[in-house]
């Protein structure tokens, strides 16, 4: 009887470990998606500045380079 109890306890522990691992993976995915969305928004903003026809100053040029990761 005691062996069954330990088996169930380890099974629950393994199940909890699996759920925690899954939660960490989902959290990392959400953080990565958030950073991608921010980068896309920066790209759209940079393209809108270029399309507006306004003269491009150094600050706008720096933002465009950062948005498109140009060195």
Q: Supply the pTM of this predicted model.
A: 0.57
CA 29 remoteness from chain centre: 5
Three-state DSSP at 28 gives helix
Q: Is residue 3 part of a domain?
A: no
**∠ CA 42-27-38 to the nearest 5 degrees?**
5
Q: Is residue 68 part of a domain?
A: yes
Q: Flag whether pLDDT at 34 surpasses 60.
A: yes
Total domains present in the chain: 1
Three-state DSSP at 14 gives helix
Task: Tell me the mean pLDDT in the region 3-20.
Answer: 80
Q: Is residue 5 part of a domain?
A: no
Read off the pLDDT of residues 14-32 as tens digits, 9 standing for 90 and up. 899 999 999 999 999 999 9
């Amino acid at each position: 009887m005691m062996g069954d109890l330990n088996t169930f306890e380890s099974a629950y522990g393994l199940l909890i470990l699996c759920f925690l691992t899954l939660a960490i993976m989902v959290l990392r995915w959400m953080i990565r998606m958030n950073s991608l969305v921010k980068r896309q928004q920066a790209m759209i903003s940079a393209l809108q500045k270029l399309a507006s026809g306004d003269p491009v100053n150094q600050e706008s040029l720096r933002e465009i380079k950062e948005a498109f990761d140009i060195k």
